[in-house]
């Protein structure tokens, strides 16, 4: 993935991921579907800071995924400890998409396991229409992220 030119502050969150037995296939490797679940956990760690679930329901806002790509670089296995780093570049104004980048690294040997990029948009859940601007209180929380 080509990194975009820096425009805004970068927000970074990290979490440890431990593959569970049910996520492993017959080859002993983590199934590809598990990665998307982990990337969602990373993304939500950031999103809930600006738009907690209860606020999203109250405001009728949905954040559908419009693009998700993943590059698998090395195998992850049951028993591995992985570090997921999710980053988001804060925008000076809402550009119609929120882009999150993910890097999954083996905690011990530092091998990069996978990289991914997820793009979301905002929609009004009542009408199904795209939202052009964040509600003011949500935008204020977004801009104040550290």
pLDDT digits over 82-141, tens only? 999 999 999 999 999 999 999 999 999 999 999 999 999 999 999 999 999 999 999 999
Mean pLDDT (the chain) is: 94
pLDDT at res. 124: 97
| Domains of the chain in sequence order | 10-143 (3.10.129.10)
Q: How confident is the model at residue 6 (pLDDT cuts 50, 70, 90)?
A: low
pLDDT at res. 8: 79
Element (H, E) at 39: helix 32-50
Q: How confident is the model at residue 73 (pLDDT cuts 50, 70, 90)?
A: very high
Backbone phi, psi, residue 123, to 5°:
-135, 155
Do residues 38 and 115 touch, judged by C-beta distance below 8 A?
no
DSSP secondary structure, 15-37, as one string = EEE---GGGB-TTSBB-HHHHHH
Token look-up 């590809």 returns 32
Q: Tokens for 66?
A: 């419009």
């Amino acid at each position: 993935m080509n990194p975009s030119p820096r425009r805004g502050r970068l927000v970074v969150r990290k979490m440890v991921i431990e593959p569970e037995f049910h996520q492993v296939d017959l080859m002993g490797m983590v199934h590809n579907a598990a990665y998307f679940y982990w990337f969602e956990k990373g993304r939500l760690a950031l999103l809930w800071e600006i738009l907690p679930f209860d606020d999203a329901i109250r405001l009728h806002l949905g954040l559908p995924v419009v693009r998700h790509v993943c590059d698998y670089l090395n195998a992850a296995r049951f028993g591995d400890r992985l570090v997921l780093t999710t980053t988001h570049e804060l925008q000076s104004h809402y550009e119609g998409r929120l882009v999150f980048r993910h890097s999954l690294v083996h905690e011990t040997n530092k091998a990069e396991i996978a990289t991914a990029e997820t793009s979301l948009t905002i929609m009004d859940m009542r009408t199904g229409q795209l939202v052009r601007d964040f509600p003011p209180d949500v935008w204020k929380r977004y801009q104040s992220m550290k």
